[in-house]
Amino acid sequence: MHVLVTGGAGYIGSHTCLELLQAGCAVTVVDNLCNASRVAVQRVEELGGKRINFVELDLLDLPGLRQVFTQHPDIQAAIHFAGLKAVGESMEQPLRYYQNNLISTLNLCQAMAEHGVKHLVFSSSATVYGTPATSPIREDFPLAPFNPYGHGKLMVEQILRDLHSSDPAWQVVLLRYFNPVGAHPSGRIGEDPRGIPNNLMPYVTQVAAGRHKEVRVFGNDYPTPDGTGVRDYLHVVDLAKGHVQALHHTQQPGVFVYNLGTGRGSSVLEIIRSFAEVNALDIPYRIVARRPGDIAECYADPSLAWQELGWKTEYNLADMCRHAWDWQKNNPNGYPPST
């Protein structure tokens, strides 16, 4: 199978490209490199032992996207990662987020439809659930996002549902995943955020590397075992494998929704302490005020993905912490400049 991967040079995209290569797929990557590195694709090629067709292109460029399909008429499916992804930034720049994330998806679907490609796996998010009343979260829980990033994900889900309603030949998989962390065990590809990280694990690794003084823990008065927020952290390689499973196990038309998570919540302090213990490092942290909009607890019920896709996580929290540090210490400043 020849798969188009949008945003394939990014964190989750690069790991998924490697799993696709190892599954015997041909891969074409489209990425504008606004929050990614060409080097990541080169390293995926080295690890996978196969070439990737790489096209530096913004999905807002519909004519350019059409040309990709024209030049690669054997593309059979797409995995759509490309998009802006910082929750806080989405609240500051909502129009930019809606314009980029919605129009890019519309352009992709338009180009796919014109070339008869109707198999799509979409990178959605647990943010579509908003503030759930209870955990673990099932796919049939109410959907109530509370920031533009989450609203955009839910809008795209609806766009894809409407697309299938208009043309039942479409095979659409919506993957709502929770908190991806870690890196490939080789230490060659990993998370390389631009600027100050928005997520916990890369901030912890950068503190360990001396790039920041301490980890800020936002609130310790939540109704959780240690007072800090609880989230469902899953290894990025497990997540990548979930996309491959979704691609190959969904052969009939329809719209399918799956949570990808471990089914277990870990607190912020648990992550910090596990990272320090596994890697024999000191990770200083400081308790600060809660962030607006943060919730106490959020973790998945991933049983549907296991039942229908045969997918479940293989890596534990210690693996996530070890592999994240292996990546960071081997690449203290992230990916080097592309040559």
Cα separations in angstroms, 145 against 229, 272, 297:
18, 28, 15
Give the three-class secondary structure for 316: coil
Contact 55, 82 (CB under 8 A): no
pLDDT in tens, 71-93: 999 999 999 999 999 888 999 99
Mean pLDDT of the chain: 96
> How far is it, in rounded angstroms, from Cα 206 to Cα 218?
17
| Helices 268-279/200-208 angle, 10° precision | 40
pLDDT in tens, 164-181: 999 999 999 999 999 999
Contact 119, 128 (CB under 8 A): no
Residue with tokens 């949570």: 259
Choose among 161, 157, 164: nearest CA to 143.
157
Considering only CA atoms, give the Rg of the chain.
19
DSSP assigned state of 119:
E
- The sign one gets for the Cα dihedral 311, 317, 323, 328 is positive
Alpha helices in 77-235 (DSSP H): 87-92, 94-114, 148-166, 200-208
Amino acid residing at 30 = V
pLDDT in tens, 240-297: 999 999 998 877 899 999 999 999 999 999 999 999 999 999 999 999 999 877 888 9
pLDDT in tens, 302-316: 999 999 999 999 999
> How far is it, in rounded angstroms, from Cα 314 to Cα 241?
10
**pTM tops 0.75:** yes
In this prediction, residue 214 carries a pLDDT of 97
In this prediction, residue 161 carries a pLDDT of 98
Q: Is the confidence at residue 127, as pLDDT, over 80?
A: yes
In this prediction, residue 276 carries a pLDDT of 98
Choose among 177, 135, 187, 160: nearest CA to 296.
135
Q: How much of the chain, in percent, has pLDDT values that exceed 90? A: 91
In this prediction, residue 339 carries a pLDDT of 62
Cα separations in angstroms, 207 against 69, 96, 124, 327:
43, 31, 29, 14
Among residues 11, 129, 149, 177, the one annotated as catalytic is: 149
Catalytic (active site) residue 149: yes
Contact 209, 328 (CB under 8 A): yes
Domains belonging to the chain, first-starting first, are 2-190+234-261 (3.40.50.720)
pLDDT in tens, 28-53: 999 999 999 999 999 999 999 999 99
pLDDT bucket at 128, cuts 50 / 70 / 90: very high
